[in-house]
Structure 1
């Protein structure tokens, strides 16, 4: 098992069954690395970089990421509950999707105020996730359970919510121009307009 050292750079490394729960990692750079069945629960990544990395079946719940950078990072079947993504360092302009989540748990996470165009969240559990003040233009949030998630002054222009459910999006307080919703779930959007539907 590798010991991650401060200021180290890792390129095309593979980490399997790595245990780093509650550890503090500072100024560590990972590029084109893969993580399989690793445990980073409550770990703290300070000023770290993740570039073109893949996490599979990892537990990263409650991790802290102050001033860390993420670029084209994928999370597949991972646990990411309670992560405050606003702690990370995000570029003012992003040309590519920074994050991709697939079949993962992001319950009680926060993306408050972030600009994340083309964000990809597929078949995930998004209970109580904070998307307020976000710019999620052209993102894909499909097949997700969004029960209790928060939206206010959120830019959802051209965002695809197909097959997602449980959301509560006020169309008067959020931009939903050209956004896509499944027909049945789209009826929920009418509630804020005071419209009563009858058969």
Structure 2
């Protein structure tokens, strides 16, 4: 399927490459549309400026892979351990963009992903502990059972986001945007009583 070691500005459509392995292939400014990569093992691959639309990426492995300015729209990205990828020491803002994606059961522990975007996504049971997500956009995303702890959420936008449980004492939330009534959840961990009239 992928016979070359590098691809530039290629358009890949309706590729079926699930349960496969792909080693040391570089993709620059490529577009993947309606592709199935479910449970594929990517090792030492690079995706720079690439766009994924309506793709199945459930349970892919991204061992030693690199992502830069990669965007995902209406993709299934369930069960991905993003910490297995290689992230640059010099942080690049906006390295990952997810729009209307399913990210359930994924892991971003300790990653520096400032200004990343999760817009209109399903992010249930996702681990964001110790991650740097400063100025991230999380609007209209469902965070049911997701974990935040020692997470940098400075200036993050949670407009219309739902079901998040964020301890203000255990996370950095200065300048972050929240909306009522969901923002009341920030009080649940403070050992206080909330009463309605």
TM-score normalized by the length of structure 1: 0.96
2:41 is aligned with 1:36: no
In structure 2, distance between residues paired with 1:71 and 1:160: 22
| TM-superposition CA deviations, 1:141-162 (whole Å, max 9, x none) | 1100100000111111111111
Match of 2:107 in 1: 110
Residue 93 of structure 1 pairs with residue 90 of structure 2:
yes
Where in structure 2 are the equivalents of 1:5-154 lying within 5 Å? Answer: 5=3, 8-154=5-151
| Aligned structure 1 segments of 4 or more residues deviating by more than 6 angstroms | none
Q: Deviations over 1:109-155 (max 9, x none)?
A: 00011011101110000000000111111111110010000011111
**What is the root-mean-square deviation of aligned Cα atoms in Å?**
0.9
Of 2, 14, 35, the residue aligned with 1:4 is 2
Distance in 1 (CA, whole Å) between partners of 2:60 and 2:22 is 11
Q: Which runs of 5+ in 1 are unaligned?
A: none
Would you say the 8 A contact 2:92–2:113 is kept in 1?
A: no
2:93 and 2:113 in contact (8 A); partners too: no
Q: How far off its partner does 1:8 sit?
A: 1.0
TM-score by length of 2: 0.97
Aligned residues: 196
Whether the aligned pair in 1 keeps the contact of 2:156 and 2:175 (CA below 8 Å) is yes
